[in-house]
Amino acid sequence: MSRILVAATPVSGHHAPLLRIASHLAQAGHEVVFLGGARFAEEVRAAGPEFRALPAEADYDDRDFSARFPERETIPAGPAQIMWDIMHVFGDPTAAQCRALKDVLADFPATAVIHDNLFLGGLTLALAEEKGHRPTGFSVGITPLSVESRDTAPHGLGLLPPADDAQREQYAAIAARMAEMREPLVDHLRACFAAAGATLPEGPLGRNLIGAADVFVQLTVEGFEYARSDMPANVRFVGAIPIPAAAGQEQPAWWPELLRAREEGRRIVVTTQGTLANTDLARLVIPTVRVLADRPDVLVVAATGRPDAADQFAAALPAVPGNAIVAGFVPFSALLPLADVLVTNGGYGGTQAALGHGVPLVLGGDTEDKPEVAARVEWTGTGVNLRTAAPSDEALRAAVDTVLDSPSYRERATALAKEYAAHDALATIDALVRASDR
């Protein structure tokens, strides 16, 4: 068995898949230490691995981003905010992350370090020393693959792959302008890497950040990602990590209502804004409930993930419609198999989970990687891309109707679900780690 150090950026969408990997490896008999955000300490210990906390310079509470990153609120959503996030949310902690990894490795000589793809301290560790003199580095892609390629559009804009040579030339011009705009970002990351004792290689940033790892594990299937004739050799598609059923978790009180609706032949529409961009439910969740309020053939389940959901609904609607359930915690592993469509802002993990169950989507998001997720859903034919985080009521209702009434979306999602089912992401990662330790 191996000694494995797993590290995660202290953001729920990054922490959760890395903890599931760490827990699986611990249960498989490996000795595992998990380096992560302090607020997750008890959750990590309950899952099996030993916990070590990130230093304060690299730790924060993602439930209140404005407390740690007040300037972020002034940056408009889209490419500008993505660039700011990479510089400051993910770039600035790099040196502190690298020091923390080295501190753990000093008394826990792991043979493998596994981290999410935006835990950049893990990449500096890999770049600073030759392979054979350090642990094998595994970077886990929990966001859409960002490898630059002539076969894809410039990353971050939510554009579909080029249809012909003319569009390739158009995209090349856009990429050149974006590269110029991103020079401050690259310079900033060079300084962050240098502070950690590593050199960020010259060349395309996305390709370098992926290529720095010995193995880049992408948490999806090939059918959900754009084909690239120049795909880096270290990329492995392993499928999605399933959302586990909570042990001993009781079903919510409204569950019988959901089952009755299903038995009556009503369609189940689930809506969520994920775990990070869910501060203002009036962007997508509340509008979904509102525009479907007159549909007796539909039951809407609003999976808010927020303790103040009732207050937000009370401020926006006279009353919760009779065909809607407003919930905080929702057992997605049990809910998704009953869903006919998921209306979401497009978090990567949630989208993978939906497609793994063959559930088509309606997506409306403009923060982080959400435009890229939505573009891939559009490209695969598994849902409707609203191309905005604040759709009109008419556009939102039309999109839901389109997915519910057009069998092709469910058919494409079902076909993709079969591809997900052919993979066992956790077992594959375990096998890759064991192979690297030989």
In this structure, is residue 248 part of a structural domain? no
Q: Which candidate, 347, 406, 350, places its Cα nearest to that of 381?
A: 406
Q: Are residues 409 and 380 in the same domain?
A: yes
Q: Are residues 306 and 429 in the same domain?
A: no
* The pLDDT of residue 291 is above 60: yes
In this structure, is residue 247 part of a structural domain? no
* The pLDDT of residue 277 is above 60: no
Q: What is the pLDDT of residues 332-377, one digit of tens each?
A: 888 999 999 999 988 899 999 999 999 999 999 888 889 999 999 9
Alpha-carbon torsion 277, 280, 286, 288, what sign?
negative
In this structure, is residue 151 part of a structural domain? yes
Q: Are residues 222 and 265 in the same domain?
A: no
Q: Are residues 170 and 295 in the same domain?
A: no
In this structure, is residue 202 part of a structural domain? yes
Q: Which long-range contacts (CB under 8 A, 24 or more apart) does 129-132 make?
A: 131/214
How far CA 286 is from CA of 121, 301, 355, 359, 391, in Å, comes to 39, 11, 23, 21, 12
Q: Are residues 207 and 276 in the same domain?
A: no
At 303, which amino acid appears? A
Q: Are residues 151 and 232 in the same domain?
A: yes
pLDDT at 132: 81
Cα gap 173→312, rounded to integer Å: 44
Cα gap 223→419, rounded to integer Å: 8
In this structure, is residue 325 part of a structural domain? yes
Cα gap 404→269, rounded to integer Å: 9
* The pLDDT of residue 31 is above 80: yes
Mean per-residue pLDDT for 416-435?
Answer: 96
DSSP state of 86: I
Out of 54-63, 75-84, 200-209, 367-376, pick the least confident.
75-84
In this structure, is residue 86 part of a structural domain? yes
Q: What is the CATH number of the domain that holds 311?
A: 3.40.50.2000
Task: Work out the angle between the directed axes of helices 348-356 and 370-380 (0-180°, nearest 10).
Answer: 20
Q: Are residues 220 and 109 in the same domain?
A: yes
Cα gap 217→428, rounded to integer Å: 10
Percent of the chain with pLDDT over 90: 75
Look up the domain containing 178 and give its range.
3-239+423-436
Q: Are residues 159 and 11 in the same domain?
A: yes
Q: Are residues 415 and 427 in the same domain?
A: no
Domain count of the fold of the chain: 2
Q: Are residues 409 and 333 in the same domain?
A: yes
Cα gap 347→11, rounded to integer Å: 13
Q: In what order do the strands lie in the sheet with 298-303?
A: 324-327, 298-303, 267-272, 341-344, 361-363, 383-385
- The residue that leads in pLDDT, 305 or 48, is 48
In this structure, is residue 19 part of a structural domain? yes
Q: Are residues 231 and 322 in the same domain?
A: no
Q: Are residues 149 and 48 in the same domain?
A: yes
In this structure, is residue 300 part of a structural domain? yes
b/e burial code for range 25-63 (CB count within 10 A of at least 16 → b): bbebebebbbbbbebbeebbeebbbbbbbbeeebbbebe
Out of 81-90, 162-171, 315-324, 338-347, pick the least confident.
315-324
> Which two tokens mark 92?
């600035």
**Residue 205: Cβ within 10 Å count:** 18
